[in-house]
A and B are shown apart, each in its own frame.
Chain A
């Protein structure tokens, strides 16, 4: 499935927006989680947990799923593919793991009178993972998978065959 350059850039913009938005929302979540953890005031702790619940379900979860979906579309509709380059596979794995842990964590997050370090630990781990995924997307470290190598070889052979026979490649 091929996309026009305009649509491809629009999809890329959407993907970056979701992913960077996810990173920013987790940072805000971490700030609220720390505020709840260090506070001795019951009202502040409850307010922090309420804030984390609302931010988690209505901002972070939609952004993470949006990032996953647009990332999948992005890789499957361009020459990059999903399984051809190690860095794409790695970012996809990070996205899957982070989204799964987020959903599991959010199911257990509920208003409490005693703050636990759990939200701080989860948010910190999520930040580290998202930063790693962002760095991989920017640096795009070298390395193609055996599947990607076979695809490139087949395309090269096809192009060579077409040049030899004078037929244009599709």
Chain B
């Protein structure tokens, strides 16, 4: 009994033989989550007065 397999991946293009656009890799999704977290942290820090110039001598 042969095992049913999904469309094979072309290593050069990361796309399937059926000609569809490649799926987004898991590491990219994880990276995107990281970017969102960093952006939120930066916004929170700027909003709470931890931005540039917060320890300038006046």
Please report A residues at the B interface, Cβ cutoff 8 Å.
86, 90, 93, 97, 101, 104-105, 107-108, 110-112, 116, 118, 141-144, 146, 149-150, 152-153
Contacts and interface: CB of A to CB of B under 8 A. Distances in A.
B56 A86 contact: no
Contacts of A108: 51-56
Contacts of A142: 11, 14, 25
Interface string B19-53: 10110110110010001001000100000000111
Chain A contact residues: helix, strand, loop or mixed: helix
Q: Which bracket fits the contact residues of B?
A: 20 to 34
B55 to A, nearest CB: 6
B10 to A, nearest CB: 9
Given A101-B42, A141-B27, A107 B22 contact: no
A149 B24 CA distance: 12
A97 B42 CA distance: 10
A116 B57 CA distance: 13
B16 to A, nearest CB: 10
A107 B14 contact: no
Main secondary structure of the interface of B (DSSP, over half): loop
A90 B27 CA distance: 11
Contact of B38 (A97, A118, A144): A97
23 contacts: A86-B24, A86-B27, A86-B31, A90-B28, A90-B31, A97-B35, A97-B38, A101-B42, A107-B52, A107-B53, A108-B53, A108-B56, A110-B55, A141-B25, A141-B27, A142-B14, A143-B14, A143-B22, A143-B28, A144-B13, A149-B13, A149-B14, A153-B13
A97 B37 CA distance: 13
Nearest to A103: B52
